[in-house]
Structure 1
Amino acid sequence: MSLDHPVVICCSISGSIANRDQCPAIPYTPAEYAAEARRAVDEGAVHIHIHARTPTGEPSYEIDDFVAIREAIVDEIGDAAIINFSTGTIGVSVEKRIAYLEAGLPEVAALNMGSMNYAKYSARRREFVFDFVFQNPFSEILALLEAMNRLGIKPEHECFDVGHVGSLAPLVEMGALPTPLHADFVMGVTGGIPPTARNLAVMADNLAEIPGGPHHWGVIGIGRVQWTMLAAALALGGSVRAGLEDNFYLPDGTMARSNGDLIAKAREMTLDAGRRPATVQEARAALHLPARAGSV
C-alpha cells in the first residue's frame, strides 16, 4: 500500500467485554447497533465490525442475535458499509461460530491468526487486571477458513504479533488461503506486539513479503494508543479502525459520546495526513469484494 491509496475507515461498534458502566454509549439492542452504525457511516466509516450481544448487553454467539443486529444495521444504512462479523472468542466451538457465519453471511469475518497470552496490565497497581491464553490453533484457523471460502466471506486476518503475520504464508502455500490478503495489525494488547510505529512498519513489511500481493492492511490500536497507531498507519499507507470496542476516548481525554465521535476524529486525521477516506466502492475494491449496485 502507498499514501496514494484511499483509507478504509472501519468502525468496531461494541466489542464484547466492556459495558455501559464503563461507557454509556455502548449499544446493546439491534436498534442501538443500527443507530451507532448510522453515526459511524455519516462520519466516514465504510466497514462495520460486529460482536453480537443480547438486548441486555451480554456477549452472544447465537445466530438470532447476530442476524438481528446485521438486519437492523442493513435496514438503517443499506449498502453504505461492508458488514464484518467477529469470530474471536474463548470457549465457543468452531461449529457454533460457523453457524452464525452461515446464517448471517457477512461480507467479511475476522480470523485471529495465532494463540497468545492476552492480558491487561495496570502500571498504577503493578498487577494484571486480567490474564488468559487466547487459543487459536491452526486446526481452528483452517476450519474457519474453509467455511469462509465456502460461503464467499473474505477473511480479515487479525495479527497480534509478527509471528501471526508469518502464519499466513503456509496457508497461502497450501492453497487454503486465496490472495490478495486483508490483514489488520492489533497493537496495544499486553502479550502482543508493543504499539510503536517501528513495529507497525515491521508488520507491514512482513505482510508484503507473502506471495500473492499487494495485500491490504490496517491497524487496530487498543486503548489510548489508538490515536498514535492510527497516525503511524496513515503515514505508512495503511487503513485504520476506530470504535468503542477498542477505545472510549478522544485524543484530548474526553469520553466519546458515540462511535461517530471516534470515526469523525479518524476521518479528520486521515485528511490532516494528506490522504482521503475511501468510498464504500473503493473499500470493496481494496478488500477484493464484489461491487454492489447503488454503492457510493
Structure 2
Amino acid sequence: MSRKVIVTAALTGAIHTPGMSPHLPVTPEQIIAEGRRAAQAGAAILHVHARHPKTGQPDQSIAGFGRILPALKETGAVINVTTGGSPFMQVAERVAPAAHFRPELASLNMGSMNFGLYPMQARFPDLPQEWENAHLEGSRDLVFRNTFADVEHVLGACSPNGTRFEFECYDTAHLRNLRHMIDRGLVTGTPFVQTVFGLLGGIGADPEDVTLMRAVADRHLGDEYAWSVLGAGAAQLRIAAMSAAMGGHVRVGLEDSLWAGPGVLAQSAAEQIAAVGKVLDGLGLSMASPDEARGILGLKGAEDVNF
C-alpha cells in the first residue's frame, strides 16, 4: 500500500487581502464554496479563517465562524479552526472560536516573531481599500505575540474539549517550545507539526531550511510526531514536494499562496491540490482521506464538535 499523505487546504487566512486576487474567498458563501472545492479535490483537512463579508478584513468573532463551519462540516473533511486569527489580534480574541466550537483540530502558533508583510506593497501598490495598505505597512512594526502564557492559554481553553492542535512552527526555536510543553504534560498524544517556510521573520524557504527544520524536529520529538509543511508564495509546491519525498504531509491554499504557477493566479486551492496530487503520484504516494487523517492524527471525530 502507498503511504498516505495528509493534504490540508488553508482556505483564506488573514495575510492576503481582497485587492490582491479576485479569487480570494471573503464572504461566507465564497469560503464555503472554496472548502467544498478543496475537499472534492482531495483535501483531508480544511484550515478555516473568517472574514468580514463587505471589507474582507479578518474576523475572529464566534458569529463569523458560525456562518461557515456547519456547511464546511458537511464536506466530511476535518475542520481546523485557527487560533492564530490575525497577527494584530490578542490571544483571547484569537482563541474564542476554537474554544466555543470545539473542533477536532485547531492551529496553535508556537512562538512570538516579527511578521513582515510589508514587502508585498511593492507587488501590490494599488490596493483599493485603505485598510489593505495599512495592514501591510503596519507589519513593519509588528510582533506576532505568542508568549508561553499565550500558548498555555490556548491549550487550556481547547484541550479539555478534545481538540487537538496543528502546531505551527516558523523557526527552530518554536520546535523547542513545543518540546517544552510536552515535557510539562500540557501536550499529549502524537503532535501534528506544521513547519512554515518563507514568511519574513521566520525561517527561509531554501532546501537547507527544510532539512534543518526536519532534523531539529527529529531531535526534539523523535519519531512520535506527524510532520507537515507549508511554503509561502512561490515556494508552495517546491516545499510540498520536499516534504512528500521526506515522509511528510503538505498544506496548500490561498492563505499561503495566491498562485497556481509563475504569474498565474490560482482560482481555487483545488488547482494547488491537483498539482500536489501529480507530485504524489510520481512518488508512488496517495492522498489520505479525512478518516485516514483522523486515524493518523488521533482526532476525536466530527460527531463531537459544537457545530
Amino acid at match of 1:102: A
Q: Is the 8 A contact 1:30 1:68 kept in 2?
A: yes
Q: Supply the distance in 1 between the matched residues of 2:17 and 2:81 (Cα, whole angstroms).
A: 19
* TM-score (norm: length of structure 1): 0.89
1:111 shift after superposition: 0.5
The answer to whether residue 83 in structure 2 is matched with residue 87 in structure 1 is yes
Q: Is the 8 A contact 2:87 2:115 kept in 1?
A: no
* Aligned counterparts, 1:1-296, within 5 A: 5-56=3-54, 57-75=56-74, 77=75, 79=76, 81-88=77-84, 89-120=86-117, 122=119, 130-131=139-140, 132-211=142-221, 213-291=223-301
**Structure 1: tracts of 5 or more residues without a match:** none
Amino acid at match of 1:261: E
2:299 partner SS: coil
1:271 shift after superposition: 1.4
1:232 shift after superposition: 0.9
1:159 shift after superposition: 0.3
- Fraction of identical pairs, as percent: 32
Q: Is the 8 A contact 1:222 1:247 kept in 2?
A: yes
1:163 partner SS: helix
Amino acid at match of 2:254: L
1:4 shift after superposition: 5.6
User: Number of paired residues?
Assistant: 287
1:292 shift after superposition: 6.0
Q: Supply the distance in 1 between the matched residues of 2:93 and 2:222 (Cα, whole angstroms).
A: 31
1:205 shift after superposition: 2.3
Q: Is the 8 A contact 1:233 1:239 kept in 2?
A: yes
Q: Is the 8 A contact 2:90 2:145 kept in 1?
A: no
Instruction: Name whichever of 266-275 and 42-51 sits farther off.
Output: 266-275
Q: Supply the distance in 1 between the matched residues of 2:102 and 2:28 (Cα, whole angstroms).
A: 17
**Structure 2: tracts of 5 or more residues without a match:** 123-135
Amino acid at match of 1:51: H
Q: Is the 8 A contact 1:121 1:190 kept in 2?
A: no
1:236 shift after superposition: 0.6
Q: Supply the distance in 2 between the matched residues of 1:102 and 1:135 (Cα, whole angstroms).
A: 19
RMSD: 2.3
Q: Is the 8 A contact 1:14 1:245 kept in 2?
A: yes
Q: Supply the distance in 1 between the matched residues of 2:204 and 2:19 (Cα, whole angstroms).
A: 28
Deviations 1:110-156 (A, max 9, x none): 1000111221474996xx96422211100000110111211111111
Amino acid at match of 1:168: L
